[in-house]
Structure 1
Amino acid sequence: MTEEHYEKEIGRLRTALEEADAVVIGAGAGLSTSAGFTYAGERFRAHFSDFAAKYDFSDMYSGGFYPYETLEEYWAYWSRYIYINRYMDAPKPVYEKLLELVRDKDYFVLTTNVDHCFQKAGFDKKRLFYTQGDYGLFQCSEPCCQETYDNEELVCEMVQQQKDMRVPTELVPHCPYCGKPMTMNLRADNTFVQDEGWHQAAERYSNFLRTRDGLKTLYLELGVGYNTPGIIKYSFWQMTLKNHQNTYACLNYGQAECPNEIRSQAICINSDIGEVLERI
């Protein structure tokens, strides 16, 4: 993309945002990556050098899937993982800049991210739908019930008290109902718990789409890849196609694209999301 074309597309996005009656934001992992939440490299080494040395991990995802022999070691890893990706702030103010752009708009956020960055940046909780869970919640691993549990206090204790890559046995979390081990409330298989808060958020998102149907809407897709494209990407394409007034904007470093059917309604910018938002 030439600098001239880049500036033209940013100008189109600025106009689309100004003129939109409603804005639906769809956010994937690329948005948090732009904000500095990287899962490999220096940030990984700074927090997991001991696990990397023992197991030859090169990134946080690999460590998350490793079958640790004990729950004490499992939670030593995961408590650190949760703490730095959920309770520490993102290094760059990308989410704050996004809020600045849409604060006065009629917006809703649909995200597959589980790091809570939207809420920490000040987005209205009632305008957020985290479809894939939240690092800040535990659930029963069975699960024996459709309940989730805030984990901040326990995670912080596990981080502070772990030694030699193990947490004290008494800190290993178990379900208060059946006694089975707890796990993170993350969608990985059919054991994912969709609690009352999840269903309420899903209903609010559905209501937002229904009550804004026919309005001039900007579907702003940020950092969404092809791991779960049906949740955000494909639905945004379909909703854009329904109304010629709608605009689909895709900001993605390396994967900014759209189908031919909506090309005339699309703005695709292949660049760092944070940089683009600063220039709007």
Structure 2
Amino acid sequence: MDYQAIAEKIKQADAVLIGVSNGLSITEGLHIFADNKAFEDLFGDFKRNYGITCLLHGMTAHWPTESEKWGFWSRLIHYYCAEYEETPVMKDLRDIIGKKDYFVLTSNGECHFEMSGFDPEKMDEIEGNWLTMQCRAACHDTLYPVLEKAEDMHKAEKDGLVPGDLTPKCPKCGSPMDIHMMGAADRYVSDDGDQRLGAFLEKYHGKRLVILELGIGWRNQLIKGPLMRLTAAEPKASYITINLGEVYITENIKNRSYGIDGKIADVLREIKKAM
């Protein structure tokens, strides 16, 4: 692979649009689909007591009580958000972008981009995130921070249960609160991420845009499909996709694309070296 050519494309770009899905999370050691050792170590009791088979299963479960729901979520948020430290792969990505304008389009909800220094105003977390919550009844569309509350609940959790008086309630109608994430919220409240993305794309329409796609499977029509169609519609755009064991690029953009079958951490390290 000609990493020098990729590095030059990024250097010459007016801006970079970063598309991200689960492959990057897995690179960081967070696998929401896996019944692996990490899941057993952190959530083995929930697995045995409730039959959940992976993190995603727990995130989208219909818990019997708020105490049980927030027992799961407060533990998840504590270990994967409150204790998160920037990983080398995120640092390399920041270094590659440098001072260039960028936007992040991601279906990941663990907020590792924000915690690694990326600007939340240059981001569209299209399926929500773990660090905001909303009214379950959707009586209004305000999103509330959850990290501090989750840490209080985690400290008080015992045997997977959080005291009922600590579980969050809507400040307006008193309904329970849900994590602002599709699949976790009964009535998902939209935010303004799509407007921010639209403004970014309008700003760089017709300019040298690099689309850098990290860890997205070929069937993905939430991010990958739209990014390839965007590349086709923007004649000055370049498309770079990195995914272990599966690289797919449509024929109509292959002459402006680079597909790399490899580990995201290794590939970004090589691109950084080439820059």
TM-score, normalized by length of structure 1?
Answer: 0.88
Query: Superposed, which structure 2 residues align to 1:155-170 within 5 Å?
Result: 155-170=150-165
1:90: Cα distance to partner? 5.3
Q: Would the alpha carbon gap of residues 212 and 67 (structure 1) be closer, same or farther in structure 2, given more than 3 Å must change?
A: closer
Aligned counterpart for 2:62 among listed residues 57, 67, 87: 67
Q: Distance in 2 between matches of 1:126 and 1:177?
A: 27
The answer to whether 1:99 aligns with 2:91 is no
Q: Would the alpha carbon gap of residues 220 and 180 (structure 1) be closer, same or farther in structure 2, given more than 3 Å must change?
A: same
Q: Distance in 1 between matches of 2:79 and 2:231?
A: 36
Aligned counterpart for 2:187 among listed residues 182, 188, 191: 191
1:268: Cα distance to partner? 0.8
The answer to whether 1:36 aligns with 2:29 is yes
2:207 is matched with 215
1:42: Cα distance to partner? 2.1
Is the contact made by 1:252 and 1:273 (CA closer than 8 Å) also made in structure 2?
Answer: yes
Aligned counterpart for 2:82 among listed residues 62, 66, 87: 87
Q: Distance in 2 between matches of 1:126 and 1:161?
A: 33
1:119 is matched with 114
The runs of 5 or more residues in structure 2 that have no matched partner are none
1:130: Cα distance to partner? 1.8
1:4 is matched with none
Deviation string, structure 1 residues 119-151 (Cα, Å, up to 9, x no partner): 111112332222221201111111111111111
DSSP 3-state at the match of 1:258: coil
Q: Distance in 1 between matches of 2:247 and 2:217?
A: 9
Deviation string, structure 1 residues 168-223 (Cα, Å, up to 9, x no partner): 111121111112111110123782112xxx32x43332122112111111111111
1:256 is matched with 247
Q: Would the alpha carbon gap of residues 126 and 61 (structure 1) be closer, same or farther in structure 2, given more than 3 Å must change?
A: closer
2:125 is matched with 130
Q: Would the alpha carbon gap of residues 243 and 164 (structure 1) be closer, same or farther in structure 2, given more than 3 Å must change?
A: closer
Q: Distance in 2 between matches of 1:145 and 1:165?
A: 30
Q: Distance in 2 between matches of 1:181 and 1:226?
A: 37
1:3 is matched with none
1:70: Cα distance to partner? 2.0
Q: Distance in 1 between matches of 2:225 and 2:64?
A: 40
DSSP 3-state at the match of 1:253: coil
DSSP 3-state at the match of 1:107: strand
DSSP 3-state at the match of 2:155: helix
1:11 is matched with 4
1:226: Cα distance to partner? 5.9
1:246: Cα distance to partner? 1.6
Deviation string, structure 1 residues 47-91 (Cα, Å, up to 9, x no partner): 112112323433212223333322211211121122223322157
Question: Cα RMSD between the aligned structures?
Answer: 2.0
Q: Distance in 2 between matches of 1:203 and 1:58?
A: 36
Aligned counterpart for 2:228 among listed residues 226, 237, 261: 237
Identity rate of aligned residues, in percent?
A: 30
1:174 is matched with 169
1:57 is matched with 52
Q: Distance in 1 between matches of 2:160 and 2:17?
A: 42
Is the contact made by 1:36 and 1:90 (CA closer than 8 Å) also made in structure 2?
Answer: no
1:112: Cα distance to partner? 1.6
The runs of 5 or more residues in structure 1 that have no matched partner are 1-6
